[in-house]
Amino acid sequence: MLGKYKAVLALLLLIILVPLTLLMTLGLWVPTLAGIWLPLGTRIALDESPRITRKGLIIPDLRYLVGDCQLAHITNASLSHPSRWLLNVGTVELDSACLAKLPQTEQSPAAPKTLAQWQSMLPNTWINIDKLIFSPWQEWQGKLSLALTSDIQQLRYQGEKVKFQGQLKGQQLTVSELDVVAFENQPPVKLVGEFTMPLVPDGLPVSGHATATLNLPQEPSLVDAELDWQEIAAIDCAGTG
């Protein structure tokens, strides 16, 4: 009987110690585990070990590398689940020079191909990035907010030179705000519109209607323009001064 009690106690101790050990060594085993699914030649590195609190998972620092090239650097990230998944990130730095170093691999037959297939995989998620930086285009940095479900995807981007707000429902993309500061000391170019995205997300919208406000050097006032097209076959433009 004493032997059975010892066996039960040992099992309980193992059940307690294994999760604690995994939590305390996240920085060691998470990169190795993630490497199973990452593209060949890429890896993640954690300079500080993640930790779990009552509010969720905290990731102080994470780097995604292609060989020795740092494609992405994420700092001050937290993941929680209040009513849906919530990912808050302090800073994300992306280096476009590393994209050319990504290995060319054949797409898996099981990988999603159509826009609907990609959308069906999305969990109900909120994503907030306080500062998204694109290298070498740091002047286009801004704050990114995403609200994702399999039915509707909403995106909001706020920067000094560009502002965007839009929603994708199925193939229908609605752009409610797009402001781009193309030239210094000039009003931003503004565009709103409705677009139909292709079934396979590998090209431009197949049809759409957009209105834009432009500031042309030859015109003393702003110019309004409308653009309509269908299947990229016909484009109609109209402008008013």
pLDDT digits (tens, 9 = 90+) for 153-193: 999 999 999 999 999 999 998 999 989 888 787 788 888 99
- What pLDDT is recorded for position 118? 85
Position 235 confidence tier, pLDDT thresholds 50, 70, 90: very low
Counting every residue written for the chain, the total comes to: 241
Instruction: Give the pTM.
Output: 0.78
Token pair of 42 as six digits: 């890429």
Token pair of 165 as six digits: 């707000």
- What pLDDT is recorded for position 106? 65
Q: CA-based diameter of the chain, in Å?
A: 96
Instruction: For the chain, give every domain's residue range.
Output: 8-98+116-160, 163-233
Is residue 31 helix, strand or coil?
helix
Instruction: Please give the share of the chain, as a percent, with pLDDT higher than 70.
Output: 73
pLDDT in tens, 130-140: 999 999 989 99
**In Å, how far from its chain's centre is CA 149?**
14
The secondary element (H helix, E strand) that includes residue 145 is strand 142-148
Of 201 and 173, more confident = 173
Of 19-28, 60-69, 101-110, 176-185, the least confident: 19-28
Rg, C-alpha atoms of the chain: 24
* Distance from C-alpha of 68 to C-alpha of 112, rounded to nearest angstrom: 29
Residue 226 in contact with residue 237, Cβ under 8 Å? yes
Of 3 and 210, more confident = 210
**Terminal CA-CA length for the chain:** 94
- Asked if the model's pLDDT at residue 1 lies above 70, the reply is no
Of 224 and 90, more confident = 90
43 bridge partner residues: 65
- What pLDDT is recorded for position 86? 92
Token pair of 111 as six digits: 């990988």
How does strand 172-180 pair with strand 42-45? unpaired
The arithmetic mean of pLDDT across residues 73-100, rounded, is 90
* Distance from C-alpha of 226 to C-alpha of 236, rounded to nearest angstrom: 8
- What pLDDT is recorded for position 200? 78
- Asked if the model's pLDDT at residue 128 lies above 90, the reply is yes
